[in-house]
Chain A
Amino acid sequence: MSKVMSMKEAIAANVRSGDFLFIGGYVCRTPFSAIHEIIRQRITDLTITRSNAADDFDMMIGAGCVKRFIATFLSLGVYGLGRCFRRSLEKGIPRKIEIEEYTNLALPMMLMAGAMGMPFVPIRDMAGSDLLKVKSFMGEDKYKLIDSPFDGRPTILVPALNPDVGIIHVQQADEFGNAQMWGIGGDCMYGANASKKVIVSCERIVSRETVGKDPSRTIVPGSKVVAVVEEPYGSHPGYTPGFYDADFSFGYLYQQASNTEEGFKAFLDEWVYGMEDRTAYIQHYIQKFGYEAYKKLGAEFDYGFPVSYAY
């Protein structure tokens, strides 16, 4: 049965206030279209997670969607610190989020454990740092320090995570949800598979037969997927390998806007609340910056040798 629907339908049917969300992406394939829809539908009290969060998480925090953040990092990269993230933690604007802090080894391993059905996972980092001293909403369950039952060495155990919903943006998927991704992975594959259900946003919907021509690229099997949304340029201003480049000018525009509460509100009004959907967003982009600017983001084509799975 086809799971293809609009982003509005996918979010309305699957994301509730108070849910725990994994949101994939690493500048690469940020599911921005889904994030804008969550903000538009005024979903709140979310717990969100991903390693190396950026402008997308900053925006959700600023928009007041987030109660809790299982984090490793949040920054706007070359543009500097996340302004909404800072306002939240320094001044409680629009609310002070609760933050539980891990690392880019620990958190991906916790998602991997979740995906594998493991209850917890031992890790070799975080030791000796103040990350062990600060505990938020996870309390004593943030980690356990034990002597390894095998060699007696001090070992940190961290719990598996199983988000209610995983949201990812990939290059292509079929109507059943078999999702195919290439390029920088971040924690996308484990995060999605750790989630109880998955919303797949993609640049293009392809046939089941096309998926079968290169099945090693599938990172989530359709059986875990509840919605497939075709959203060209769905991760703008992030990028999707083979489709379009990161929009560095827009990243700067967001940083400048989010510098102040007023600027951030105006940004949301213009680019999120004022837009019906992703199509309207792209049209607005073209009207504002011109077709040339839009076209310039498009990737060149550089195909490799086709792979064959024949026997």
Chain B
Amino acid sequence: MAKNSNKTEENRNKFINDIKQGKVWGSYDIAFNTVNLLKDVIVNGDWQTAQELMVLITAEGRKLTRSLPMQASVGNMVRRVLKIIREEYVATQQNKQEDVDAQESLHKIVTSEGDVVDDYSKLLPDLRSSIMEHIGEFEMELETSADNIAQQARQHIHSNEIIMTLGKSASVEAFLKKAATERKFEVIVAECAPFCRGHELAVSLGKSKIETTVIADSAIFAIMSRVNKVIIGTHTVMANGGLRAVCGSHIVALAAKHYSVPVIVLAPMYKLSPQYLCSYDQDAFNSFVSPEGVLKYSDGAILSKVHVYNPVFDYVPPELVTLFISNTGGHAPSYVYRLLSELYHPDDHDL
């Protein structure tokens, strides 16, 4: 047993280091690897009942989220797995599939006949296999999510439209390429300085024969009047339907609002986080990286005289978002709370 737990710890540390060093990159890979780590805990961990397993997973999740506070998808995956365990426990125990709605509701308050608190402590022999099976299905969902989003491209991109996007998002790239197989349209890519990942996207789209124009971030507003639609990706969808997205997204969203251009955000379900933005100084909301891209170290003398910041994220309030497209379809920002209550158990919001 001790050997197993050592191995789990080793895996976890490797995963954390890989993310910190940028070896594992992109929220899909992060989500996928998190699920694998948790699977390891379920298979090799020392547990008898669902309750013990949930304690193990929560502890593992806490270690991960403490070390990687910026990667919301890690926490999201931990919550999803916990929810799966809860569902499977109830299903195996009652030997039937039943929808367990754990969300507090006024209806429950007024009609309840006293609380029946289930502490998940019953011994269930088939639990391990049924949880693993369910997680298998969930992994399938993860794998196909990008594709599912891309499948909806046809409904949103029409012929001869001008689409604006910003930086590089894997979902947006797949979405645009899928649409290009059937329709002809034009894409304007804001480069998203200082990382300029927009250049990479432009090259990739160009190779797929999509008419692409790269613009500087400062030209976003000037160009917006000609744009029909803004399609962007995001890092996290917050609980109120706001976005934590790459820096510059707020500018795009505000310019779009000014010209009444619809803003479509591609967000697979694993990006939905039960987090709220309480204040802009909030811990773990933004991260500041090396300012090298803003002001080169070779600029010498001036460096000691000025402050240089290079934040990674922007908060985009929900009223600037028109539509979310997830692997399960399109949703308005005001509907995000509902999706959250379906995805996660309320007790798991704080790990």
Q: Do A and B bind each other?
A: no
Q: Which residues of B are at the interface with A, using a C-beta cutoff of 8 A?
A: none
